[in-house]
A and B are shown apart, each in its own frame.
Chain A
Amino acid sequence: MSDARFKQSKRTFLKTGLASVALSAPFVSRAWAQTVELTILGWYGTAEPDMVGEFEEANNVKFVPKYYAGGDNMLAALAQNPPGTFDIIHTDAEYAKLLVANDLVMELDPNNYPIDDLLHDDFKSFAGHWDDGGKLYSLITRFGHLGVSYNKDVLTAEEAASYDIFWDERLTGKVGHFDWHLPSLGQMSLLMGNATPFDIGEDAWKAVQEKTMSLKPQVGGYFDFGGTFSGLKNGEMLAMVGIGDWVTGILERDGAPVSSVVPKQGGIQWTESYSIAKTSEKTEMALKYLDYTMSPEGQVKTAQMLGYPGHAVTKAGRALLNEVDPAEAQRSHQVNGDAQDPITLINEGRISYRDIPVQQSLEDWNDFWSEYKNA
């Protein structure tokens, strides 16, 4: 090998090396600020760009969603995936207590969140979010009310203001169920006059079952998330049991003639919370996201969520919503002094918080639900 050739190789080597360093510099800097992936287990829409896009951009985060519908599905997803799969768990409040009981979520510091700014005192110590020792594990972020959802071309708001309308002969074969036992059976329980619809004795439970079974000839189908929307939108279903503005609100925005009312027998509140999985290795970023959801901006996003609308839980969030999107604030009655203001409805005692059955097991309720579907 000649010396000249060796020198040339050395020069080439140095050139190539320098060029490689120069070219790889952006990748090196990107590696320094590597994107954090936050895996969220949540209801449909909670990790879509309209909700998390701004946060992702500002914090170099990428949300990886795993969606579910119904608290039982959420528990199933947790059981089927190895520990550490999920960082943030977005859950229905009544299931949050099961997460706490099974030691699946980490403790949160209440001082980091605007607890005093929550719109209702009940929200400040929401059942199941705190343990007996006063430790916080789950953070209330949004809520909504379930009642009678109906097609405005067929029923008036006055007619829909009672659960009895489901038995109306105009609706035969046109009453749909969101396929989850808790909201539907909770509404039947309210219709039967149970003040605490999920905490009922054996006789009351039997009466709820009989009443529900009598609705069977009216029922047109049992639907998942997508089926509920399309059933109401295309007029196949003229009334739905077990849902509320979280479905009809979206369809209303699109101009469909549907709406929801809280009937005279009372409505049921769905409440959603965020927890952080105890096995998460990205708690710092997950906590940062929780801060964001409770900020006025985050609360506005939660009220406007494209997946399904909900109500803000903080006063500051509501105030900002009225400022930046008064139309949505008015449509959803999130206006102080509005007769249908969801907080007013709670204060008037017309709302029961959705819960898991207290005196029966979830299995009892689900068994009956399967029996009802097959009747």
Chain B
Amino acid sequence: MRRPSTYAMTFRLPIIIWQSVFFVGPLIFVVAMSFFVVKNYRMVETFELDSWSKMINRDYVWSAYRYTLMMAGSASVLASLLAFPAAWFLAFRCSPQARQLAILLLIIPFFTSYLVRTFSWYTILAEAGVLNGVFALLGLGPFTMLNTAFGTMVGYLTFVLPLVLILQTVTMANIDDRLIQAARNLGCSSARTIFSVVLPAGKTGFVIAALFAFILSFGDFVAPFYLGGSNPPTMPILIIDTTKSGQQWPRAAVVAVMMMLTLFSVAFASIMYAYRKRASR
């Protein structure tokens, strides 16, 4: 095997050092912290399973875990489904100039803080808000949307939908248009074309987009706290709750490790699936 040249290593090393210092290092520290204990409101470095046993045996931890998993999974599926028709339009029905403009417009929301965008939903979703005002004109409502799972989902989608749409658009724009034309010429319906041509051809991009939606929603604190009213709490809220009371950082670290293990598993499984070659017949 050829040894990498000094020139090549000059460019490779910074990212390796960066990841080691700011990702692997803190990760190891969080795992280690989950074995520490708190005495007199101060953390003591030791190796005890106390925090793990306390947290794993709490029903509310698993209840928050299931809820977070369900909400993040739903956000991932919903964002993928909602983005698909728009991405299709941008990829296949728009001129390249219009597509570029659309992608620019989709990036613009990220210029504003996510927290600010989340708070703006207050005026729209409140019982005396814009949406209920429209419903009232139709003789409907008022509907409670804030402090519900619906509110949380609106927050998640605010966060992830533009990103999923951009990733899906780029993915579809790179699919050879002639494959779709061939499918239609051979008599495929629109649905058959999507399932037999577009989805397999863009599988990697679609899976990565959905994975991003899952990862970002799973770890999001803002939407479930401000739009969901912490009712019920998600895992990130549980981390805050745990640290707030008695400075139980080791127990919060247990929750964090549970979350990281979940994300690693989901990411690993998704990437394996995304890059798996189809078996030849």
> B176 within 8 Å of A by Cβ?
no
Nearest-neighbour CB distance to chain B for A261, whole angstroms, equals 24
Beta-carbon contacts under 8 Å, B7-35 to A: none
Beta-carbon contacts under 8 Å, B196-243 to A: 225-226, 228-233, 238, 241-243
> B64 within 8 Å of A by Cβ?
yes
- B246 near A371: Cβ-Cβ < 8 Å: no
Segment of B37-45, B81-89, B91-99, B167-175 engaged in the interface with chain A: B37-45
- Bound complex: CA A179 to CA B240 (Å): 11
DSSP majority for the B interface? loop
Segment of B104-112, B120-128, B156-164 engaged in the interface with chain A: B120-128
> B189 within 8 Å of A by Cβ?
no
Nearest-neighbour CB distance to chain B for A309, whole angstroms, equals 24
- A220 near B229: Cβ-Cβ < 8 Å: yes
Kindly identify which residue among A79, A223, A234, A371 contacts B126, using a CB–CB cutoff of 8 Å: A234
Kindly identify which residue among A98, A176, A361, A370 contacts B241, using a CB–CB cutoff of 8 Å: A370
Kindly identify which residue among B43, B122, B226 contacts A79, using a CB–CB cutoff of 8 Å: B43
Q: Which residues on B sit within 8 Å (CB–CB) of A366? A: 241, 244-246
Q: Which residues on A sit within 8 Å (CB–CB) of B58? A: 367, 370-371
- Bound complex: CA A98 to CA B41 (Å): 9
Q: Which residues on A sit within 8 Å (CB–CB) of B242? A: 370
> A362 within 8 Å of B by Cβ?
yes
- B231 near A362: Cβ-Cβ < 8 Å: no
- B127 near A76: Cβ-Cβ < 8 Å: no
- Bound complex: CA A60 to CA B238 (Å): 43
- B229 near A227: Cβ-Cβ < 8 Å: yes
- B229 near A75: Cβ-Cβ < 8 Å: no
Among A179, A361, A363, A374, chain B packs the most CB atoms within 10 A around the CB of: A374
- B229 near A72: Cβ-Cβ < 8 Å: no
Kindly identify which residue among A79, A223, A230, A231 contacts B42, using a CB–CB cutoff of 8 Å: A79
Nearest-neighbour CB distance to chain A for B95, whole angstroms, equals 44
- Bound complex: CA A223 to CA B237 (Å): 12
**B133-155 toward A: CB 8 Å interface, digit per residue (1/0)?**
00000000000101100000000
- B241 near A221: Cβ-Cβ < 8 Å: no
- B64 near A374: Cβ-Cβ < 8 Å: yes
> A219 within 8 Å of B by Cβ?
yes
Q: Which residues on A sit within 8 Å (CB–CB) of B232? A: 373-375
Q: Which residues on B sit within 8 Å (CB–CB) of A236? A: 126-127, 144, 146-147
Q: Which residues on B sit within 8 Å (CB–CB) of A35? A: none
- Bound complex: CA A224 to CA B233 (Å): 13
> A173 within 8 Å of B by Cβ?
yes
* Chain B residue at minimum C-beta to C-beta distance from A362: B246
- B144 near A173: Cβ-Cβ < 8 Å: yes
Nearest-neighbour CB distance to chain B for A247, whole angstroms, equals 16
- A235 near B127: Cβ-Cβ < 8 Å: yes
> B195 within 8 Å of A by Cβ?
no
> A70 within 8 Å of B by Cβ?
yes
Beta-carbon contacts under 8 Å, A355-371 to B: 361-363, 365-367, 369-371
> A102 within 8 Å of B by Cβ?
yes
- Bound complex: CA A172 to CA B194 (Å): 46
> A123 within 8 Å of B by Cβ?
no
* Chain B residue at minimum C-beta to C-beta distance from A181: B245
- Bound complex: CA A369 to CA B231 (Å): 12
> B270 within 8 Å of A by Cβ?
no
* Chain A residue at minimum C-beta to C-beta distance from B62: A374
Q: Which residues on A sit within 8 Å (CB–CB) of B67? A: 374
Q: Which residues on B sit within 8 Å (CB–CB) of A367? A: 58
> A125 within 8 Å of B by Cβ?
no
Whether A75 touches B247, Cβ cut-off 8 Å, given contacts A220-B231, A221-B147, A373-B60, is yes
> B181 within 8 Å of A by Cβ?
no
Nearest-neighbour CB distance to chain B for A331, whole angstroms, equals 25
> A67 within 8 Å of B by Cβ?
no
- Bound complex: CA A374 to CA B241 (Å): 12
Kindly identify which residue among B40, B226, B245 contacts A363, using a CB–CB cutoff of 8 Å: B245
- A221 near B229: Cβ-Cβ < 8 Å: yes
- Bound complex: CA A265 to CA B194 (Å): 66
- Bound complex: CA A371 to CA B54 (Å): 13
- B41 near A222: Cβ-Cβ < 8 Å: no
Whether A374 touches B233, Cβ cut-off 8 Å, given contacts A72-B246, A173-B144, A366-B246, is yes
Kindly identify which residue among B42, B43, B60, B146 contacts A370, using a CB–CB cutoff of 8 Å: B60
> B265 within 8 Å of A by Cβ?
no
- Bound complex: CA A102 to CA B58 (Å): 30
- Bound complex: CA A373 to CA B230 (Å): 8
Among B40, B226, B231, chain A packs the most CB atoms within 10 A around the CB of: B231
- A72 near B247: Cβ-Cβ < 8 Å: yes
* Chain A residue at minimum C-beta to C-beta distance from B228: A221
Kindly identify which residue among A98, A223, A234, A373 contacts B122, using a CB–CB cutoff of 8 Å: A234
Q: What would 7 more interface pairs be, CB under 8 Å, given A367-B58, A374-B63?
A: A75-B246, A219-B231, A224-B225, A234-B126, A236-B127, A370-B233, A373-B233
Please report A residues at the B interface, Cβ cutoff 8 Å. Answer: 70, 72-73, 75-76, 79, 98, 102, 173, 176, 179, 181, 219-224, 227, 230-231, 234-236, 361-363, 365-367, 369-371, 373-375
Shortest 10 CB-CB contacts between residues of A and residues of B: A221-B229, A366-B245, A374-B60, A221-B147, A222-B230, A374-B63, A371-B60, A221-B231, A234-B126, A72-B244
A-B contact pairs, 22 of them (CB 8 A): A72-B246, A72-B247, A73-B244, A75-B246, A98-B41, A179-B230, A220-B147, A220-B231, A222-B230, A224-B225, A227-B225, A234-B127, A235-B126, A236-B147, A362-B245, A363-B246, A366-B244, A370-B242, A371-B60, A373-B230, A374-B59, A374-B67
